[in-house]
């Protein structure tokens, strides 16, 4: 549109040329060149922030994929470590019980960010496996760091669920000559699953929401990718709102259904 206007203007000038002298023609030509240059400058003006966002969207979504991978792996690890830790908290062996409680409370009561930095600096960059050396990437370290606080909280959920199973279940299982271990694995823990599922899901949601902290370490998850994209697009301040709004929606769309499901399960559990 702008170009049409410029053309119109220059043709008006050219029409005038017929009635004026060659100096005017040169002047008009110069003007035309300036106008065209102006048009070109107008054309290469930075694209709108939204257009930039759309262009970088696949890159950010790829980053979000890493958030999901980190959340799955961290949750898996937190569960695999947290459940035995919770069981150990009710051990009859004083030492086991005390150590398990210590570990649980340590990770429940420290900021995730501090755990993240600690893991970052404590863990080696590479592990020597004899034949091969394995590099531990930053995202793997971050995954471990997110798993630890959640492990502590799952441990506490499991402990709470175990002690909330009526003692009559222990009495009847042991009356049937089951050992303590058999009672735990066949009678008590299966009944804990239903009790602790809503809290477990709640911690999954919190864990997923915490994964962008990995961006601080330079991990290219969604937020880190978005920041890189803004940088690559020229780092204009007007990128900030659309990019962060997009990230907000991205996480919300993923987490909110989980929150709703958690609520529904809680209600169902309370009713039964």
Nearer to another protein, 157 or 189 (CB): 189
Which distant-in-sequence residues (6+ apart) come within 8 Å of 44 by Cβ? none
Find the binding residues for another protein in span 183-222 (CB under 8 A). 186-187, 190-191, 194
Nearer to another protein, 130 or 175 (CB): 175
By the rule CB under 8 A, 269 interacts with another protein: no
By the rule CB under 8 A, 92 interacts with another protein: no
SS (H, E, C) 98-163: HHHHHHHHHHHCCCHHHHHHHHHHHCCCEEEECCEEEECCHHHHHHHHHHHHHHHHHHHHHHHHHH
Choices 25-33, 58-66, 140-148, 168-176; region in contact with another protein by CB under 8 A? 168-176
By the rule CB under 8 A, 177 interacts with another protein: yes
By the rule CB under 8 A, 100 interacts with another protein: no
Sign of CA dihedral 41, 43, 49, 52: negative
**Which helix (DSSP H) or strand (DSSP E) does residue 75 occupy?**
helix 49-89
How many residues touch another protein (CB under 8 A)?
18
Identify the residue whose tokens are 């119109």.
8
Nearer to another protein, 253 or 270 (CB): 270
- Separation between Cα atoms, residue 243 and residue 223, nearest integer Å: 9
By the rule CB under 8 A, 176 interacts with another protein: yes
**Where on the chain is the footprint of another protein (CB under 8 A)?**
166, 168-169, 171-179, 182, 186-187, 190-191, 194
């Amino acid at each position: 549109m702008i170009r049409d206007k410029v053309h119109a203007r220059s043709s008006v000038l050219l029409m005038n040329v017929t009635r004026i002298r060659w100096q005017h023609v040169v002047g008009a030509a110069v003007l035309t060149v300036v106008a065209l240059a102006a048009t070109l400058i107008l054309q290469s003006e930075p694209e709108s922030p939204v257009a930039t966002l759309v262009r970088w969207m696949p890159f950010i979504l790829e980053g979000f994929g890493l958030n999901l991978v980190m959340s799955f792996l961290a949750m898996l690890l937190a569960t695999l470590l947290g459940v035995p830790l919770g069981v150990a908290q009710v051990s009859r062996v004083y030492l086991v019980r005390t150590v398990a409680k210590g570990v649980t409370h340590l990770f429940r009561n420290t900021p995730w960010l501090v755990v993240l930095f600690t893991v970052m600096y404590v863990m080696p960059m590479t592990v020597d496996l004899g034949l091969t050396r394995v590099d531990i990437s930053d995202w793997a370290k971050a995954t471990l760091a997110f798993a630890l606080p959640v492990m502590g909280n799952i441990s506490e959920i499991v402990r709470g669920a175990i002690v909330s199973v009526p003692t009559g279940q222990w009495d009847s299982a042991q009356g049937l000559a089951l050992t303590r271990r058999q009672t735990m694995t066949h009678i008590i823990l299966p009944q804990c699953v239903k009790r602790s599922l809503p809290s477990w899901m709640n911690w999954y949601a919190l864990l997923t929401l915490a994964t962008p902290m990995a961006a601080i370490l330079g991990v290219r998850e969604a937020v880190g990718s978005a920041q890189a994209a803004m940088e690559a697009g020229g780092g204009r301040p007007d990128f900030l709102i659309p990019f962060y709004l997009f990230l907000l929606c991205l996480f919300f769309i993923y987490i909110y259904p989980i929150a709703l499901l958690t609520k529904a399960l809680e209600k169902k559990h309370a009713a039964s």
